[in-house]
């Protein structure tokens, strides 16, 4: 059993990006610039956005954080998006989700210039990804694909089961795993809350990618001997014995599943560590395209 060390891989890729950014600047160009829009005070969103901004600084990117109160109107947010679309100093930007209930997320996503959509959420990017054309890939699936690639894990012809059909993880992941490329070319099944026999679908998987959002749901009896298990879940589970009062757990019951696997991603230090890195890779590519133009 080999642990896929997302933290170490993320560190390596960020170092590569730092070097490429230094070369970009030495050649007389400005560094890549990511902007992030955060509306309201959701704790998890603040943590994610801070981590994105901090990572930019560490590798020499420029970053801008635009914070607005919960009561921002949809029209005001559309105005911010429009300004970022037109700002030649910004290569890519994200609007952190979830947004307050009075703002239509689809309308905001649709307003983002696909060339600056480094989250890969715009239908133009999802469509291009689906057709196998060059596109910004959503951060979590891109992070997972990169892990498989860098660990030299061959996926062609294998059975892959993806659990969870969210627009930002499960569905794009299923598209990437079934595409005609490596990683990809897997016989892919997408499972969700209406799947009749989830355990059996999981047990057939040579590659099991879990993004269902329930702590330690996937136990050893869901996993085939020798499977590759990718755990996208991240949960704070109350734990009286830990100093913080909680421990971080994934969707997979690691201790009993890991011994059955050929490869497994830990939580923390697996997929989560790669997600911000994937966003940085997209932002670097957006800057590169600006220079080539
Ligand atoms: N909320 C949870 N994940 C993401 C993400 O990758 N991008 C944005 N914009 N919002 C999120």
Q: What is the CA radius of gyration of the chain?
A: 19
Q: Is 83 tagged catalytic?
A: no
Domain assignment present for 16: no
- Give the CA dihedral 213, 246, 143, 3, nearest 10 degrees: -110
Q: Please count the structural domains in the chain.
A: 2
Q: How far apart are CA 285 and CA 282, in angstroms?
A: 5
Cα 51–246–232 angle (5° rounding)?
Answer: 55
Q: How far apart are CA 184 and CA 137, in angstroms?
A: 14
Q: What is the CB < 6 Å shell around ligand 1?
A: 94-97, 119, 139, 168
Q: Which residue is closest in CA terms to ligand 1's atom 8?
A: 96
Cβ neighbours of 122 (radius 10 Å): 20
Q: Which CATH number fits the domain that encloses residue 192?
A: 3.40.50.720
Domain assignment present for 188: yes
Check whether residue 177 and residue 266 sit in a common domain: yes
Check whether residue 164 and residue 100 sit in a common domain: no
DSSP assignment, residue 241? T
HSE-CB of 213 using CA atoms within 13 angstroms:
7
Ligand 1 center–CA 97 separation, angstroms: 5
Q: How far apart are CA 257 and CA 60, in angstroms?
A: 39
Check whether residue 152 and residue 254 sit in a common domain: yes
What's the domain range around 65? 29-113
Judged by DSSP in three states, 131 sits in: coil
Check whether residue 78 and residue 174 sit in a common domain: no
Domain assignment present for 122: no
Domain assignment present for 101: yes
pTM of the model: 0.97
Domain assignment present for 192: yes
Domain assignment present for 155: yes
Domain assignment present for 20: no
Q: How many helical (H) and strand (E) elements, i.e. helices and strands, does the chain have?
A: 10, 11
Q: Which CATH number fits the domain that encloses residue 44?
A: 3.40.50.10860
Closest ligand 1 atom to the C-alpha of 45?
Answer: 1
The pLDDT profile of the chain, 293 residues, written as one tens digit per residue, is 999 999 999 999 999 999 999 999 999 999 999 999 999 999 999 999 999 999 999 999 999 999 999 999 999 999 999 999 999 999 999 999 999 999 999 999 999 999 999 999 999 999 999 999 999 999 999 999 999 999 999 999 999 999 999 999 999 999 999 999 999 999 999 999 999 999 999 999 999 999 999 999 999 999 999 999 999 999 999 999 999 999 999 999 999 999 999 999 999 999 999 999 999 999 999 999 999 98
User: What is the residue whose two structure tokens read 């239908």?
Assistant: 123
């Amino acid at each position: 059993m080999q642990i896929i060390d997302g933290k170490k891989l993320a560190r390596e890729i960020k170092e590569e990006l730092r070097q490429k950014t230094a070369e970009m600047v030495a050649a007389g160009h400005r560094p890549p610039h990511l902007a992030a829009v955060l509306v309201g005070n959701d704790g998890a969103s603040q943590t994610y956005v801070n981590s994105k901004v901090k990572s930019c600084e560490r590798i020499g990117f420029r970053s801008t954080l635009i914070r607005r109160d919960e009561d921002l109107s949809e029209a005001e947010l559309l105005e911010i998006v429009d300004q970022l679309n037109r700002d030649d100093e910004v290569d890519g930007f994200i609007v952190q989700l979830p947004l307050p209930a009075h703002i239509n997320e689809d309308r905001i996503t649709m307003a983002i210039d696909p060339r600056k959509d480094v989250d890969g959420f715009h239908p133009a990017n999802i469509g291009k990804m689906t057709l196998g054309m060059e596109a910004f890939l959503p951060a979590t699936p891109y992070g997972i694909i990169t892990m498989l690639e860098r660990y030299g894990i061959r996926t062609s012809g294998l059975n892959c089961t993806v659990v969870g059909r969210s627009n930002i993880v499960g569905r794009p992941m299923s598209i990437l795993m079934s595409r005609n490329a490596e990683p990809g070319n897997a016989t892919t099944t997408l499972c969700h809350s209406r799947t009749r026999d989830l355990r059996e679908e999981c047990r057939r998987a040579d590659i099991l990618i879990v993004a269902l959002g329930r702590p330690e749901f996937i136990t050893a009896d869901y996993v085939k001997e020798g499977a590759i298990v990718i755990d996208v879940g991240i949960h704070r589970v109350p734990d009286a014995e830990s100093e913080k009062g909680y421990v971080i757990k994934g969707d997979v019951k690691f201790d009993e599943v890991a011994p059955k696997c050929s490869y497994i991603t830990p939580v923390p230090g697996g997929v989560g560590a790669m997600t911000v890195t994937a966003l940085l890779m997209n932002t670097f590519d957006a800057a590169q395209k600006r220079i080539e133009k």
